[in-house]
Amino acid sequence: MAYTALARKWRPRSFAEMTGQEHVLASLSNALASGRVHHAFLFAGTRGVGKTTVARILAKCLNCERGVSATPCLECGSCREIEAGRSIDLIEVDAASRTKVDDTRELLDNVQYAPTRSRYKVYLIDEVHMLSASSFNALLKTLEEPPPHVKFLLATTDPQKLPVTVLSRCLQFNLKRLSVPLISARLAHILAAEQLVYEAPALQLLAQAADGSLRDALSLLDQLLAFGDGAARVAEARAMLGTVTRDHVERIAVALAAGDAQGVLAAAAELADFAPDYGQILDQLAALLERVALHQLVPGYAGDELFSLALVGNLAAHMNGEDVQLYYQTAIMGRRDLALAPDPLTGFRMTLIRMLTFRPETAGQARAPALSAAAAPGATPAGPVASNPVALNPVALNPVALNEQWSALLAAAELDGPTRSLALNCSLAAREPGLLRLTLDAKNAGGYTRGREEKLAQALGRHLGEALRVEISVGVVAAETPAQAGERATQETLAAARAALAADPTVRALQERFGATVNPDSVRARRPA
């Protein structure tokens, strides 16, 4: 007996068997149940997400001999004929091979005639965007005034190429790429039903390589089963896909966090033994850095199927936000430039070297604590670690000393515009365990909102490595706020600049010889960055 590809054998026969696309299925089911079925549907989405499958199931729903419903019987003559591809009233057309206007006119010549056996005559036009402009004009006339017994089901991977006049006459449904967990679960279900041996990580690799397409995942699974002698194991999957274990990517990230150039290059050298796709490695590294950035932005951000929460949290605690952003940008730019490198390994190594070479360094600001080499991928840090060593003394100090620490903390912490402005106009009234009491200068009370207070607490808590509350009261500050200190420094610099200009011999000579005068408003102090 001839072998049937898994993508064909396991094509869904009803909406209940579909994987994902709940938003589309719910709309179609409601329309069928209420009897409000439009005459033209457009299904858009990338390859292998179920466009044609949904259209065929819809055709069965419309022509099932037991009546129009969202659950075709799958047993009547009409359902069986549609499944076998021999229904005379379901006209399937591949627009990619029939783009001429004569082909379209020939197709539509019989629209006026009633269906032969079924309730509706259904036209399923795949890759409809490939039709010529003249073909679209011919189709448009029928879409404008279709006979009551005709339904059009259009499918496309590029809806932007369709004329607006055609789009406006269709109900458009956008089918989404399927997630890795959805695809993995579907593959596991199929293999269990087929009674075949598999390893879950292997299915996850296939799901990732499929890039949202279940059909591609099933084709890869067919290939893996042939490669693995009827079993889907992770070692064969990696060999077939040319991927490497994620441990290598995690080791590179840990070495980057530690600033360990030797460790980074050693991990790159280990990869060379596998002859990997270095573009995929940079993609995985960028994906990991994105998770780290999310964890830093939203403390406690949950992990996902790609990277463990323990690893992401460990890296987030030991990397500065600026470094994460720079590494991510360098990774995707290096990914783009791999084709221009003398060879992929050289381009990959140079990308890693750039990450270590161009790390941002702010004057007077210490870097994040180095990640210990003993912190292997997946290890959980022993406790909360500040992203910067600048901290606040919990003991009672005089207001001036306390606000010197407050100014240093704000200079080191990562704060956005409005939140930073609020903090700069506050003085530190008291430091208690888990609590900062601030006094906001009354002149700047308009800058306070509860949301900014909460954002300030979150940012400082991340920086200090602890759960932190901030309480802000409006009043008279006990000592200079950082904003006042900055303004005072600016005025002092301005006064010194004006005095130096007035004492300059050249300026004095111009004044004595030509009667020149100095405009004090033209002297400006450059504000610190």
Q: pLDDT of 256-273, one tens digit each?
A: 988 888 889 888 888 877
SS (H, E, C) 406-423: HHHHHHHCCCCHHHHHHH
Mean pLDDT across the stretch 451-461?
86
What confidence score (pLDDT) does residue 175 get? 92
pLDDT classification of 75: cutoffs 50, 70, 90: very high
Q: Which of 480, 482, 520 is nearest to 502 (CA)?
A: 520
Q: Which of 335, 276, 325 is nearest to 296 (CA)?
A: 325
Residues 12 and 134 in one domain: yes
CA angle 298-303-307, nearest 5°?
125
Residues 222 and 291 in one domain: no
* H or E segment and range at residue 174: strand 171-174
> 204-214: buried (b, 16+ CB within 10 Å) or exposed (e) per residue?
bbbbbbbebbb
Q: Which of 182, 177, 179, 225 is nearest to 202 (CA)?
A: 225
What confidence score (pLDDT) does residue 403 get? 67
**Phi then psi dihedrals of residue 412, to 5 deg:** -95, -30
Per-residue tokens: 397: 């100090």
* Residue at 351 is within a domain: yes
Other Cβ atoms less than 10 A from the Cβ of 509: the count is: 11
Q: How far apart are the first and last CA of the chain?
A: 75
Is 243's pLDDT higher than 60? yes
Side-chain-side CA neighbours of residue 245 (13 Å)? 9
CA distances from 271 to 246, 251, 275, 330, 349 (A): 11, 11, 7, 19, 11
User: Residue with structure tokens 């210490």?
Assistant: 366
Where do the H-state alpha helices sit in 430-472? 450-464
Task: Kindly state the percentage of the chain with pLDDT values over 70.
Answer: 87
Last residue of a domain, one of 335, 357, 379: 357
Residues 263 and 349 in one domain: yes
Residues 48 and 169 in one domain: yes
Is 225's pLDDT higher than 80? yes
What confidence score (pLDDT) does residue 488 get? 84
Cα–chain center distance at 461: 26
Residues 298 and 425 in one domain: no
Is 529's pLDDT higher than 50? no
What confidence score (pLDDT) does residue 270 get? 83
Query: Tens of pLDDT along 389-405?
Result: 344 547 334 555 666 77
| Sign of the dihedral defined by the CA atoms of residues 73, 76, 82, 84, in that order | positive
Task: Kindly state the percentage of the chain with pLDDT values over 90.
Answer: 27
Between 332 and 429, name the one with better pLDDT.
332
What confidence score (pLDDT) does residue 401 get? 62
Between 351 and 442, name the one with better pLDDT.
351
Is 191's pLDDT higher than 90? yes
Assign 182 to helix, strand or coil. Answer: helix
Q: Which of 379, 355, 298, 247 is nearest to 290 (CA)?
A: 298
Cross-strand partners of 150: 121
Between 29 and 297, name the one with better pLDDT.
29
CA angle 132-137-140, nearest 5°?
120
What confidence score (pLDDT) does residue 74 get? 93
What confidence score (pLDDT) does residue 330 get? 92
* Residue at 506 is within a domain: yes
Cβ proximity of 364 and 291 under 8 Å: no
Residues 142 and 10 in one domain: yes
Q: Who's near 75: CB < 8 A, 6+ residues apart? A: none
C-alpha 390/C-alpha 114 separation (Å) is 80
Mean pLDDT across the stretch 415-430?
86
Q: Which domain holds residue 309?
A: 252-357
pLDDT classification of 528: cutoffs 50, 70, 90: very low
Query: Tens of pLDDT along 504-520?
Result: 888 787 777 777 777 77
* Residue at 379 is within a domain: no
Between 132 and 125, name the one with better pLDDT.
125
Cβ proximity of 367 and 320 under 8 Å: yes
Cβ proximity of 96 and 125 under 8 Å: no
Mean pLDDT across the stretch 115-131?
90
Mean pLDDT across the stretch 295-305?
71
Question: Which of 175-189, 439-453, 489-503 has maximum average pLDDT?
Answer: 175-189
CA angle 15-16-21, nearest 5°?
60
Q: Which of 222, 171, 179 is nearest to 204 (CA)?
A: 179
* H or E segment and range at residue 333: helix 321-337
Mean pLDDT across the stretch 317-331?
89
What confidence score (pLDDT) does residue 273 get? 74
Residues 228 and 170 in one domain: no
Mean pLDDT across the stretch 398-424?
77
* Residue at 329 is within a domain: yes
Residues 337 and 286 in one domain: yes
Is 382's pLDDT higher than 50? no
The mean pLDDT value of the chain amounts to 82
pLDDT classification of 525: cutoffs 50, 70, 90: low
Least confident of 67-71, 125-129, 460-464: 460-464
* Residue at 247 is within a domain: no
What confidence score (pLDDT) does residue 1 get? 55
C-alpha 452/C-alpha 295 separation (Å) is 20
Mean pLDDT across the stretch 181-185?
91
User: Residue with structure tokens 């998770």?
Assistant: 291
Assign 504 to helix, strand or coil. Answer: coil
- 31: amino acid identity, one letter: A
* Residue at 364 is within a domain: no
Domain holding 267: CATH number? Answer: 1.20.272.10
Residues 345 and 280 in one domain: yes
Cβ proximity of 376 and 254 under 8 Å: yes
The number of distinct structural domains making up the chain is 5
C-alpha 472/C-alpha 458 separation (Å) is 14
* Residue at 367 is within a domain: no
What confidence score (pLDDT) does residue 491 get? 84
Residues 217 and 279 in one domain: no
Per-residue tokens: 79: 């359902």
User: Residue with structure tokens 């150039």?
Assistant: 261
Residues 116 and 231 in one domain: no
Last residue of a domain, one of 241, 261, 276: 241
Domain holding 466: CATH number? Answer: 3.30.300.150
Residues 202 and 317 in one domain: no
Q: Kindly report the pTM of this predicted structure.
A: 0.57
Per-residue tokens: 251: 């080791």
* Residue at 382 is within a domain: no
